[in-house]
Amino acid sequence: MRATIWGSRGSIASAGPDTVRYGGNTSCVELADGDGTILLLDAGTGLRRAGMHLRDSSVPIHILLTHLHMDHIQGLGFFRPLFEPGRELHVWGPPSTTLDLRARLTRYLSPPLFPVRIRDLDSIVELHDAPSGPWQIGPFTVTAASVVHPGPTLGYRVSAGGATLAYLPDHEPALGGLAGGPAWTSGHDLAAGADLLLHDAQYSDAEYAERVGWGHSSAAHAVAFAEVASVRRLALFHHDPDHDDERLDGLLAEARGIGRGVDVIAGCEDTSFELSGGG
Ligand SMILES: [Zn+2]
Ligand SMILES: [Zn+2]
């Protein structure tokens, strides 16, 4: 399974010399595993660039949305395959008890916020609530579960070819613990034993202390969560837009200093990972 990060910010960061290594686009990760099926995790602004290289219009594209905060859907309107006649797209998202996925996405993909409505697109777009149990998309076995973050929000676990990736870009597991006991119950089963975990690491410890309950994690919390879940490798993700390359280098170094059993890396735009089980 090959994973490519097209965007890893929590909000758009201005492109400039201070953000060039980590990138400025918001959440989008592409997964491929050889049979042609394309799976995209979230539709942040990184989705635009993901769409630029998806030339084979016969390939079905699946977009798994964790939730509908703007930084996770903003790229949809700029995703080229959406405008390709006959292109098959499936968008999966968190169920809601109030509005279905189409109604929620239409709030963005309709005038006045966007000139085109979903129903007027040339592509064939099907919208699905993510099922409560594991399901199969081509070679990928996908599991979704609700995690601690404001509003209906999913994390995803994706396995293929013996490798597993866990994706929890917006997650505050420190709020998900049992009273008096250790935290980290939220998202645990999604991440357990994953070869690579992409996890919210938006804040420093000092910043988190000012933002408890906002739905995000400190880098130290991401490391602690990864250790409890026994993941092999942790990529710090959902970077704060105010953090430039130098600041993120510092957070990465701190995270590596406290991570004992987990390999900590940076979630940088334009990086790819080849995942294989046991390696
Ligand atoms: Zn977000
Ligand atoms: Zn969010």
Distance CA(191)–CA(184), nearest Å, equals 11
Greater pLDDT, 131 or 58: 131
Ranges 6-15, 89-98, 150-159: which has the least confidence: 6-15
Greater pLDDT, 20 or 200: 200
Which ligand neighbours the alpha carbon of 238 most closely? Answer: 1
Query: What's the CA-to-centroid distance between 193 and ligand 2, angstroms?
Result: 25
Rounded to two decimals, the pTM is 0.95
Residues with CB under 5 A from ligand 1 (ion): 71, 170
- Per-residue model confidence (pLDDT) at position 189: 94
**Domain limits, the chain:** 2-274
- What would the two tokens of residue 154 be? 């999913």
Greater pLDDT, 157 or 56: 157
- Would you call 33 helix, strand, or coil by DSSP? coil
> Catalytic: 270?
no
Query: What's the CA-to-centroid distance between 119 and ligand 1, angstroms?
Result: 26
Q: Are 92 and 119 in contact (CB under 8 A)?
A: no
Query: What's the CA-to-centroid distance between 56 and ligand 2, angstroms?
Result: 31
- Per-residue model confidence (pLDDT) at position 185: 84
Structure confidence by residue, pLDDT tens digits, 142-196: 999 999 999 999 999 999 999 999 999 999 998 865 444 455 689 999 999 999 9
Inter-CA distances, 276 with 44, 68, 100, 162, 198, Å = 26, 31, 36, 6, 16
Distance CA(62)–CA(138), nearest Å, equals 10
- Mean pLDDT over 266-277 rounds to 92
Structure confidence by residue, pLDDT tens digits, 220-270: 999 999 999 999 999 999 999 999 999 999 999 999 999 788 999 999 999
Residues with CB under 5 A from ligand 2 (ion): 69, 170
Query: What's the CA-to-centroid distance between 47 and ligand 2, angstroms?
Result: 16
Query: What's the CA-to-centroid distance between 10 and ligand 2, angstroms?
Result: 8
Query: What's the CA-to-centroid distance between 112 and ligand 1, angstroms?
Result: 23
Instruction: Check whether 19 has a pLDDT greater than 90.
Output: no
Catalytic residue among 71, 170, 200, 244: 71
Distance CA(97)–CA(52), nearest Å, equals 35
- Per-residue model confidence (pLDDT) at position 255: 96
Which ligand neighbours the alpha carbon of 149 most closely? Answer: 2
Enumerate residues 6+ apart whose C-beta is below 8 A from 52: 80
- Per-residue model confidence (pLDDT) at position 178: 45
Element (H, E) at 258: helix 245-258
**CATH class for the domain made up of 2-274:** alpha beta
Structure confidence by residue, pLDDT tens digits, 101-124: 999 999 999 999 999 898 899 999
Instruction: Check whether 93 has a pLDDT greater than 70.
Output: yes
What is the pLDDT of the chain when averaged over all its residues?
92
- Per-residue model confidence (pLDDT) at position 176: 66
- Mean pLDDT over 131-149 rounds to 95
Confidence at 279, pLDDT banded by 50, 70, 90 = very low
- Per-residue model confidence (pLDDT) at position 119: 87
